[in-house]
Structure formats: structure tokens, C-alpha cells
Amino acid sequence: MDSLSPDFSRGLLPAIAQDADSGEVLMLAWMNEDAWQRTLASGEAHYFSRSRQKLWHKGETSGHTQTVLAARLDCDRDAILLLVRQKGGAACHTGHASCFFQELKNGEVTECSPVVFDPARVYG
């Protein structure tokens, strides 16, 4: 095994971004072959935006880019895991550190991830 080749034959693949230091899962987005190649070439996470139907360099608007330290594939090569350093301390457009900020635990729903920035300031 000398390279990693995701299997894009069925279309977009889910790509998880995980904080390389804390282990926190920050977000899940989608990749096509182009996004994957640009991620590897640039060292910064690129996704395919399903809502905008185009390549999305994460942080292109907010400045909150993700430096990719490692990329992993699962056994079927149809899911991607990026280990990243998140610039600005927050991955989510809501300002939360993680997009996964709604948690159900012991029968209670709470916010489990802090708000790091004010979206109105970052996105104008």
C-alpha cells in the first residue's frame, strides 16, 4: 500500500474532520475527487458543498481554514477522516467549536461545544 485512494464510484463521500490534538469531532462534510486531490495538494481541507454544488475551500470566507495533518480511509475506502488543526478555534458557521454541539446524554439535551465566535462579526 503506497497511496490512499478513496472510492468515489458511488458519488460524494462523507469526510469527517477531527481535531488532531483534542480528538474532538468538528464536522462532517462531503468530498468528490477534486476536493480530495486539492486537500492533499494544499494541505488544507477542501470539501464539496452540496448546497452550493461546488468546491468549497473550508475557511475561504471566515478565514477558519483547517490544516490537515493526516488523512485516513476506512476499510471500504468510502469514508474519509481528516486530522486537522482548526484555525480560529471553531469549525461551525454558528460559532461553536464543533458542528456537533447538540448532545443527548442521560436523557437530557444540552449544548456540548462552546461558542467561540460571533457569526455576525465573521460573516458580516
What is the binding site for a copy of itself (CB under 8 A)? 1-4, 14, 16, 18, 22-25, 27-28, 40, 69-77, 79, 81, 92-94, 96, 99-105, 109, 112
Nearest to a copy of itself of 24, 44 (CB atom) = 24
Asked if residues 114 and 96 have their Cβ atoms less than 8 Å apart, the reply is yes
Q: Which is nearer to a copy of itself, 49 or 60 (CB)?
A: 49
CB of 102 to a copy of itself, least distance (A): 5
Four-CA torsion 74, 102, 66, 22, nearest 10 degrees: -80
At closest approach, how far in Å is the CB of 55 from a copy of itself?
Answer: 19
Nearest 5°: the CA angle 17, 55, 119 is 60
Considering only CA atoms, which of 12, 34, 21 is closest in space to residue 80? 12
